[in-house]
Amino acid sequence: MNVDKVTISIDADILKKLDRMVRAKVFPNRSRAIQEAVSEKLNRIDKSRLDRELDKLTKADIKIEKALADEGLASEVDQWPPY
């Protein structure tokens, strides 16, 4: 994995919490903790975007399927035997 160094500014309280987690061995170091947090956030954003796009497709597909079903049903009703 290629790794680049960056400099960031971070809220002091967040950094204190982060350091406590590193001391508690939740993360091996600050860099890993921040990398995992950023990665998780980016994945969540991507998933959210994908979910929105899937919702659009699903709604469009439902309308199309209903229209096709109604169209097919209308043409078949005349062919049904009387009861």
Has residue 81 been placed in a domain? Answer: no
In tens, the pLDDT along 5-52 reads 999 999 999 999 999 999 999 999 999 999 999 999 999 888 888 888
Residue 34 covered by a domain: yes
| 38 part of a folded domain | yes
User: How many domains does the structure of the chain reveal?
Assistant: 1
Encode pLDDT of 52-67 as tens digits: 888 777 777 777 777 7
- Label residue 76 by pLDDT band (50, 70, 90): low
Check: CB of residue 22 under 8 Å from CB of residue 28.
yes
Report the amino acid identity of residue 29.
Answer: N
Kindly state whether residue 53 falls inside one of the protein's structural domains: yes
* Whole-number pLDDT of residue 67: 78
Q: Identify the residue with better confidence: 39 or 79.
A: 39
Q: How far apart are the first and last CA of the chain?
A: 72
Does a structural domain hold residue 5? no
In a domain, 50, yes or no: yes
Q: What does the chain look like in DSSP terms, one character per residue?
A: -----------HHHHHHHHHHHHTTSSSSHHHHHHHHHHHHHHHHHHHHHHHHHHHHHHHHHHHHHHHHHHHHHHHHTTSPP-
